[in-house]
Amino acid sequence: MGDVTGISWCDHTWSPWYGCTKVSPGCKLCYAEARSRRFKTPAATGTWGPDGVRSINADWDKPLRWDRAAAKAGVRRRVFPSLCDWLEDRDDLVEPRARFLDLIQQTPNLDWLLLTKRPEYFLIRMYQVLEHLDRQEPKPPGYWNVATWLEAGWAPANVWYGVSVEDQERADQRIPALLETPAALRWVSYEPALGPVDFAQWLEPATVFGPGPDDPGFTVPAVDWIVVGGESDQGGEKARPFDVDWARQTVRAGRAAEVPIFVKQLGSNPRPWTWWDESTTPYVERVVRDKKGGVPAEWPPELRVQDFPKRKEAADAQPA
């Protein structure tokens, strides 16, 4: 919403609409819902559930201003829509989603970090947008973005397409769908982590061979980046526990495959929340005091890992 965000891996947050419907255990303490309740103004924040109001953002010029500023400064900025799921299934979201994809096309100096818990619906949502845009003359610039993404297998270079997973079951469901989708960069948000996930199988490209010796098969690409985090207390509700070993395992898997990992926070309920600092004699017991566990200086040193992926050139956006 604002120019400044507390999310350490992006520069700005901006959502095309506000509101969502919960789909899995990771949604229980949805930050966007807690924020909506706190402000108690559905017109400005949206509401939750399939019948709730989805309020459309009133300021679509803001990302255009960020884009111009980024171009002038010769830098790129990462923008994250934090108050919606951009692939949510609703008839009233087809038009705003089309407008959003148009906006992405008009802001080439911004990298849009699109995150969903519904990757299996990518194709159908994009076809809905294409049908909607097909009825317009002249075609808006975003039409070509959608048409080529969908039909030519090319993906916009300024979209980092990601899925959110909270445990192994959701990782098994959502990451294969992510890897089937053409994208310049594919990433996973493992936050709130609610159980261990073995990411190793998705961190190297895999070749799938065809049925016969002459069939070259195809390559399934790898995940390019993982963000890890424990849950934060929200709206007076206590966060579920985050075993810091889940972050350790993810960092180890990333190192082994040379995939960048970003440990964002240990959450409000890290287990354990104290640790022994072995760099001193005698050892000193350190405590995670920050209410979101978001201060790296309070973490065991091996967890202080906040790496970003290298931005790929447009040619890499072609499907494998």
The answer to whether residue 79 forms part of the interface with ligand SF4 (CB under 6 A) is no
- Nearest CA among 232, 254, 233 for reference residue 303: 254
Pick 86 or 154: Cβ nearer ligand SF4: 86
Provide the 10 A C-beta neighbour count for residue 30.
Answer: 18
The only residue of 7, 10, 20, 227 in contact with ligand SF4, by rule CB under 6 A: 20
The answer to whether residue 76 forms part of the interface with ligand SF4 (CB under 6 A) is no
The answer to whether residue 224 forms part of the interface with ligand SF4 (CB under 6 A) is no
The answer to whether residue 22 forms part of the interface with ligand SF4 (CB under 6 A) is yes
Q: In the complex, what is the shortest distance from the CB of residue 117 to ligand SF4, in angstroms, rounded to a whole number?
A: 4
Q: In the complex, what is the shortest distance from the CB of residue 172 to ligand SF4, in angstroms, rounded to a whole number?
A: 18
The only residue of 99, 117, 264, 292 in contact with ligand SF4, by rule CB under 6 A: 117
Neighbouring C-alpha atoms within 13 Å toward the C-beta of 254: 27
Q: In the complex, what is the shortest distance from the CB of residue 20 to ligand SF4, in angstroms, rounded to a whole number?
A: 3
Pick 85 or 224: Cβ nearer ligand SF4: 85
Part of the chain binding ligand SF4 (CB under 6 A), chosen from 29-37, 72-80, 93-101, 208-216: 29-37
Part of the chain binding ligand SF4 (CB under 6 A), chosen from 25-33, 89-97, 172-180, 270-278: 25-33
Q: In the complex, what is the shortest distance from the CB of residue 29 to ligand SF4, in angstroms, rounded to a whole number?
A: 8
Q: What residue ranges bind ligand SF4 (CB under 6 A)?
A: 20, 22-23, 27, 30, 32-33, 85, 117
